[in-house]
Amino acid sequence: MVDDLFNGASELEGRAIREISALAMDAPAAAKSGHSGTAMALAPLGVMLFSRVLRHDPSDPLWSDRDRFILSCGHASILQYGLAHVFGYDVQPEDLRAFRQAHSRTPGHPEKGVTATVEVTTGPLGQGIANGVGMAIGERILRSDFGPDLVNHRTWVIAGDGCLEEGISHEAGSLAGSLGLDRLTVFYDDNHITIDGPTELALHDDPAARFAAYGWHVINVAESANDVDVLERAVRSAIEETDRPTLIIVRSHIGFPSPEMMDRREAHGSPFSASAIEAAKAILGVPNEAFHLDPELPHRMVEALGARRAERLAWEVRVAAAGAEGAHLLEQLDSNGAAQVTRRAAAFDEGTSVATRKAMQRAMDSYFTQARGITAGSADLTDNTGVVLSGSTAQSAQNPGGRQIYYGVREFAMGAIMVGQALHGGLRPIGSTFFVFSDYERPAIRLASLSGAGVLFVFTHDSVGVGEDGPTHQPVEHLMALRAMPRLHVVRPSDANETLDLVEQFLSAHEPPTTALILSRQDMPVLGGEDAEASAVGARSGGYVLRERADAVFTLMGTGSEVAHCLSAHDELMAKGIVTRVVALPCWRCFDAQTPDYRTGVLRRDLPSVSIEAGATLGWTKYVDQAIGIDSFGLSAPGGYVFDYFHIAPSTLVSHVEQVLEGST
């Protein structure tokens, strides 16, 4: 028996589509907030995917060889929650009734780790497309390493007009085409509606021509959003394509089948009225009762997915039969590609001067063979940033196992693609660019932090030391901007050896935090003696004492290259009979996580204190009495001149300490 409203749908699929369509109205209406229309229009596509195509098993939601499904248009989250419920995942009726409510498992936009079937945190439009590119890269690399018997899944993304309008879709689509990611399929929900009104207000692109130009396989099913057989045939065509990613264009009608709300902009972001819901439910043939959910439907759907469960069980047999290789795959997936460090990177010699960005290359050379999960790349600045895997080939269709990824001049997409790799599992992505371009990556960094993605964002050329490139390329406010981001670990090492240690910490941690590693362009002294010992013991705590004296009268504090200024000023003041102590604070968030006693011992706020950092002073008063820094844009001149111009020097600290002490006598 087929459904008479949704062409080609079986009786069971039709029931699922109707229930999800009704739920898409009920949940936003109850919450007085949410997006009904897109979820209603996409219910047939979602049910077709979960019923006929996706490699998944609700009895094992985290099966590692499952297909990845991403709802890039995350405002339609009720669609994903409805699909998860109908197909037997752990999304209960009470979860659906709590849509958009505090601490529920059905938040306003999909959040990784909150709801079953949600692979990445989406909502800001377009990022899900780039996340999908990252997941497709992850699958390709692992399939190359372990073979198709153990790794053999696909990535499916649903995106809307807004996703394609956002610039990240251009960056990600272009790279995916260049890499020939044939196991990636994006559905473009072409509903012609935005919050402001018809898309024609601002959009006249030809998406088919655009993605064809990127090198994608493009299928346009036109007015077939409600014909599940047509949709399935398009999907089968995408699966048969072995050289290119696929874009499937679906002309849907937002709010279908509501006679009052269909094709109206109000259907995008406004809950439907009671009368509109009643009329639409009459057409759907479902009771006019809020949250009328058939308790038998999830059980029936799970039973219908028996073949998928058989696929998973057969996969488990193959993994077991693979012996050590199968065990290695499971371990790599479980640890997210953590390094098994048996040989540490060789330390830089005491007394030399080395830019911390150069330490990054030594770390890559040392740990690449010890961390099978590493991928590394840059937004067209590979040699400048030192994120080069000398033992790997460039990722491409010809080299599917290549871990060196050339992202091109695409910082935003690079960030979101790395998030996709990290959340795929089995990989530990590292990507790099100049620090000033963290502005381009910031939205992806934010979602990485929100979702707990183990990504290492490497930013070099960390201050006005960039020099002649001038204020357009000299980061000033960027450290504070990133430090303000919840959960993100912003790390500015004190020297090259500390950089090696902190990179090793990230690579070897089982669940590394999202990390921004901030490195210098210019050479800076390598710590030696007791200073080096203090760094080795304390750097991973985020803050530590380099020079301590019980009779100290002042604390000097810095990060990165300015730690050396603190040490020089300490020596000069000691020669004048003024006893100071020196503190390095490479990671504020790590330091704040330490015990109160530890923090008190490091800061010693009973003493007057001053910080120095070649960036904005905002925020430093949390740790010191006064801050020396740069609260203006930079200057186009040689780096040394710029530092002197802004008084980022030991002499500035010496003068400040003397003035404060003179004023207190």
Instruction: Please check the confidence at residue 644 and state whether its pLDDT lies above 70.
Output: yes
Instruction: Please check the confidence at residue 449 and state whether its pLDDT lies above 80.
Output: yes
Instruction: Please check the confidence at residue 2 and state whether its pLDDT lies above 70.
Output: no
Give the CATH number for residue 559.
3.40.50.920
Instruction: Please check the confidence at residue 1 and state whether its pLDDT lies above 60.
Output: no
Q: Is residue 481 part of a domain?
A: no
Q: Is residue 376 part of a domain?
A: no
Of 294, 309, 325, which residue sits at a domain end? 294
Q: What is the pLDDT of residues 151-160, one digit of tens each?
A: 999 999 999 9
**Domain assignment of residue 634, given as a range:** 537-663
Peptide linkage before 257 cis (omega within 30 of 0): yes
Average pLDDT over residues 121-130: 97
Q: Is residue 375 part of a domain?
A: no
For 161-213, list the strands marked E by DSSP.
184-189
pLDDT score at 664:
78
Distance CA(489)–CA(586), nearest Å, equals 10
pLDDT score at 3:
66
Q: Is residue 50 part of a domain?
A: yes
Q: Tokens for 568?
A: 């020089």
**Of all residues in the chain, what percent carry a pLDDT higher than 70?**
99
Average pLDDT over residues 434-461: 97
C-alpha angle 73/140/54, rounded to 5°? 50
Beta bridge partners of 276: none
pLDDT category of residue 615 using cuts at 50, 70 and 90: very high
pLDDT score at 522:
94
Distance CA(155)–CA(184), nearest Å, equals 5
Q: What is the pLDDT of residues 402-421, one digit of tens each?
A: 999 999 999 999 999 999 99
Contact 419, 447 (CB under 8 A): yes
**Of all residues in the chain, what percent carry a pLDDT higher than 90?**
97
Residue 353: phi and psi, rounded to 5, are: -120, 125
As annotated, the active-site residues are: 411
Q: Is residue 231 part of a domain?
A: yes
Give the CATH number for residue 22.
3.40.50.970
pLDDT score at 507:
96
CA 272 to chain centre: 33
Cut 0.85: pTM above it: yes
pLDDT score at 26:
98
pLDDT score at 122:
97
Split into its structural domains, the chain has a count of: 2
Distance CA(3)–CA(623), nearest Å, equals 66
Q: What is the pLDDT of residues 316-345, one digit of tens each?
A: 999 999 999 999 999 999 999 999 999 999
Q: What is the pLDDT of residues 66-80, one digit of tens each?
A: 999 999 999 999 999
Q: Is residue 178 part of a domain?
A: yes
Collapse the DSSP code of 649 into the 3-class scheme (helix H, G, I; strand E, B; otherwise coil) and give the result.
coil
Q: What is the pLDDT of residues 11-51, one digit of tens each?
A: 999 999 999 999 999 999 999 999 999 999 999 999 999 99
Give the DSSP per-residue string, 216-275: -EEEEEES-TTBHHHHHHHHHHHHH--SS-EEEEE---TTTT-TTTTT-THHHHSPPPHH
Average pLDDT over residues 495-521: 97
The residue among 625, 595, 627, 633 whose CA lies nearest residue 613 is 627
* Average pLDDT over all residues of the chain: 96
pLDDT score at 658:
97
pLDDT score at 665:
66
Of 294, 316, 336, which residue sits at a domain end? 294
Of 270, 294, 318, which residue sits at a domain end? 294
Q: Is residue 525 part of a domain?
A: no
Contact 95, 104 (CB under 8 A): yes
Instruction: Please check the confidence at residue 377 and state whether its pLDDT lies above 90.
Output: yes
Distance CA(295)–CA(516), nearest Å, equals 47
Q: Is residue 547 part of a domain?
A: yes
